[in-house]
Every structure is written in C-alpha cells, then in structure tokens.
Amino acid sequence: MEYRNLGRSGLKVSVISIGAMTFTEKGWRSAGTMSFSEIQRVVDYAIDHGVNLFDTADIYAFGESETLLGKALGNRKNDVIIATKVRGVMDENDPNRRGLSRYHIIRSLDESLKRLGRDYIDIYQLHWWDNHTPIEETLETLNDLVREGKVRYIGLSDFAGWQIARSVSIQEMRGWSRFISAQMYYSLLGRDIEFEVVPACQESGLGLMIWSALAGGFLTGKYSRDSGIPSDGRYARMERPFLRFDMEKGYFVVDELRKIAEKYNATVSQVALNWVKSKPFVSSIIIGVRSLDQLKDNLGSVEWDLSEEDIEYLDQITQPVRPYPQWFLDMFADL
C-alpha cells in the first residue's frame, strides 16, 4: 500500500480508502444493501492489505453506516483513521437536526461517537456548505471540539473554491484549527474541480480525498452502448443525476480505458483509479464497494503506475472546456 500525507498535516493515509456509504443492511438511496458478514470481510481484508482510512457520515442510512463500521472494526477501531461527516437532515420533523449550527454539530458528533464506539473522531468533516448558518459559528464550534479532544483533525466536503478560501482565511485570522482535507468528486468524466477547488486546496494546504472516482460505477467497464444502464446497478439507482456527463463521451472513454487495460493486464476500473492516483493533489481515493471482489479489484490499482504517455492521453481525451475567467487568464499568464 502507498501512503500519502493528508494535505500539509503529518497524518499519512492510504492512497485507497474505504467509503462506508454502502454499509447498510436496510438499504439507503443509491447505496443498495450489504450483509454484515460481507461488510466484515471487506473491512478485514482492507486492513490486512494496508488500508488505514475509513470514511462514513451520520446521514448514511441515518447512522446505520457508522454503527456497522464500528462493529466491523471491533477492537481494531483505534488502529485506523476514521472520518465522518455532519450536515445532512437527521430528522425531517426537527429543523435543528440538520445544518452546521453549533447545536447540531455538537449533538451529531456525540451521536456519531456513540455509534462508532469511540471517544474521538480522527477527521470530522463538514459534508457541504450551510447557507443558513454563519460560517464563523461553524468554524468556532469545530475549533472548540478539537481543543476538547473529541476531534483530532477537521475537513470539508463538496465546497466551492471561494467557500474553501473564505473558511480557511477566517481560521487563519482567528487562530482556529485549520482544515486539512477536502472531500470532492473527481473522475475522468468529472474534472470540474481542477479550475477552482484544486488551486484553493493547494494554496490552503488541504489534501484531496476523492469520492466516486469511477463516476458512480460507469467507469468499471460494465456499461456499454449496446447494453445500456442495467436497472440493478448503482448508477441507475441514483435518484438525481448528480454525476453529469455526456453519455457518448462516457462510452468513448470506457472504450479507450479498455484498450489501455489490455496493455497492463488490468481491469477498466484499475486504469481509471490509476489515473486519479497519478494526480499529485490527490491524497486518497475513497472507494465504495458492495463486495469483497470489488475491493480486491480496486486494490489492484495500487502496485503499478500508468506510463506518462497513457496519463497524457487520458488527460487529453477527457480535457474539460476551460470556463471564464480561466481561458482569459491563460491568455495573459506569461505577461
């Protein structure tokens, strides 16, 4: 296993980490279901093969994911890094059981600790921005939790570039605990973060933890023009098309990945993950699996690297259109 520093912190994380959104026996949104016995096999195999970071959230199956992760980790739960998140709606009937208010953060943290069977969280993350709570209130609360020892590090998820810059600048001015990580969607079919988010993270010293590096399963190679999207797959179960890309472009990229995979005796998934791994701003790739076989396949992307030629080719065929003001700034970059 390869380990990388998480941003400018001294914390080293495995380049492949486990996302626990699929850890639910009851089922939740697009996650499907997983038996606890399979969850246990996935967790044990991951740890035995060097994975040291597990990511979950209070909202995943309304706490069941945290509970099952804590149960599966057992007496090894203090030997790994556990990251969880806060922000989502935990009770539709209570307006204070959501968001990033001091009230909700403190209550949600205590509940997450209880479900995980721990007295601290390694990385506590803001799941997404809250338009209804002053960011100063949120950041001061996180600082207090770090000072109390309930949280080791703090991170964010799904923020815009300006939101990252504003948050970090406030932390710097107030002398509060700084974010060390940003969890973001990034894949060959979704490279939007390269324009604003990645520069903001690099400037602020945040390491990127990537979710859905396989574009909701589309880049596994199991989808084709002929077969279309199977109804039992995760991509088809997504209730809102938040992984947006041109389908024809997607099929073309999968075709090219398949050609490259043959050169390395690898799978399409492994090539797609290897491309993400090649990016220096990526600290860890969070994979969400529903079986041990999927985990084994994904871990097969670690011990080898794509050639510079293949990386450049994949860069080229998936290059997004540079929006304004990027293209304007490019014109005068050398002046």
Taking CA 45 as the corner, what is the angle to CA 44 and CA 49, rounded to the nearest 5 degrees? 120
CA 229, 284, 124, 160 torsion: positive or negative? negative
155 Ramachandran zone, left/alpha/beta (phi>0; psi -120 to 50)? beta
CA 154, 164, 90, 143 torsion: positive or negative? positive
3 is catalytic: no
Taking CA 325 as the corner, what is the angle to CA 319 and CA 329, rounded to the nearest 5 degrees? 85
- Which residue, among 196, 179, 185, 144, has the nearest Cα to 276 in the 3D structure? 185
Select which of 60, 124, 185, 223 is catalytic.
Answer: 60
- Which residue, among 50, 47, 69, 48, has the nearest Cα to 58 in the 3D structure? 69
Termini Cα distance of the chain: 43
Residue 102 makes CB contacts below 8 A (sequence gap 6+) with 137, 138, 140, 141
Question: What six digits make up the tokens of 320?
Answer: 């997004």
Give the dihedral of Cα atoms 299, 73, 237, 161; nearest 10 deg: -70
Exposure on the CB side of residue 175, measured as CA atoms within 13 A = 1
Q: For residues 43 and 72, is the Cβ–Cβ distance under 8 A? A: yes
**Amino acid identity at 316:** Q
Tell me which residues are annotated as active site: 60
